[in-house]
Amino acid sequence: MTDSIFHLHRGTAPLLISIPHNGTQVPAEIAARLTDSARRVPDTDWHVADLYAIARERLGASMIVPTHSRYVIDLNRPEDDVSLYPGQNTTGLCPVVQFTGEPVYREGQAPSEDEVRARVETYWRPYHIALREELDRLLAAHGRVVLWEAHSIRSVVPFLFEGRLPDLNLGTAGGTSCSLALQERLTGLLKSQNDYSHIVNGRFKGGYITRHYGNPAAGIQAVQLELAQLNYMDEDSFAWAPERAEKLQELIGRLLEATLE
């Protein structure tokens, strides 16, 4: 069953890349209840696993990638669905609103609480068990591990934030999910380049996974990087843009290498 809901590559380096919003599959019984616009699963973190292939191939990182869409369940939300950004527009554990503010489900077709609980057991819990086990394996092998949360989003989403999002949005839960030294090392790299705008702990400080698993005192450091999608793809057609993507991959590789120093 787990092979059908996520893919886990076990690497050799003390680095685990989690990409919880890369999946696009929606079971037929759920898809039949979605609005026409939601069936395109537009809020996917498109191609992020491809962007991070260098982590697996060049750096020996582990990688965990789900197969199903965040519209089935959002793996980066707590199972009790408490808001990660109180007072701000956001989406929930089983989203009923798209990033545009449009509904995910046809009228009267949103999941019941019992259905949400069932999805937690079917999709959410196995992913988090596997993530925890892989962190524990790497920690036992190396004495330390970095959990890198890889995300992307449209560069302009008025429902969620004002204006254009910076190209690179680094989140460390306000400096609590990783060491100050690692945050400064990554921030220094971002400041040393002029190709992309960036911010640290801005609108995206880190979701549930970053906040829940990051524990520097126990040897587990967690970092989230939210990318503006126009830097590697067409935001309307969702098509991969090879030249833009290759350029961005080079910087991603340097950031990941910095976590292993």
Summarised one tens digit per residue, pLDDT across range 47-101 is: 999 999 999 999 999 999 999 999 999 999 999 866 555 555 466 899 999 999 9
Specify whether the CB–CB gap between 193 and 248 falls below 8 A.
no
Residue with tokens 């057609």, as numbered in its chain:
237
Cα dist from 192 to 55, 82, 210, 254, whole Å? 21, 37, 25, 12
Read off the tokens for 204: 């995206």
| Mean pLDDT confidence for 16-43 | 98
Give the model's pLDDT for residue 261. 87
* Residues in a beta bridge with 208: none
Residues 39, 50, 237, 6, Cα dihedral to 10°: 0
The predicted structure's pLDDT at residue 82: 67
Work out the angle at residue 4's Cα, subtended by the Cα atoms of residues 82 and 115, and round it to the nearest 5 degrees. Answer: 40
Architecture of the domain whose range is 2-23+44-67+112-259? 3-Layer(aba) Sandwich (3.40)
| Secondary structure of 93-133 in HEC code, one letter for each residue | CCCCECCCCCECECCCCCCCHHHHHHHHHHHHHHHHHHHHH
What pLDDT, in 10s, does the model give residues 152-190?
Answer: 999 999 988 889 999 999 999 999 999 999 999 999 999
Dihedral sign, Cα of residue 215, residue 221, residue 227, residue 232? negative
pTM, rounded to two decimals: 0.95
Tokens of residue 191, six digits:
């400041």
Cα 92 from Cα 86, distance rounded (Å):
12
104 contacts: CB under 8 Å, gap ≥ 6: 34, 35, 38, 71, 95, 96, 97, 98, 110
Q: What mean pLDDT is predicted for residues 237-260? A: 97
pLDDT digits (tens, 9 = 90+) for 97-130: 999 999 999 999 999 999 999 999 999 999 999 9
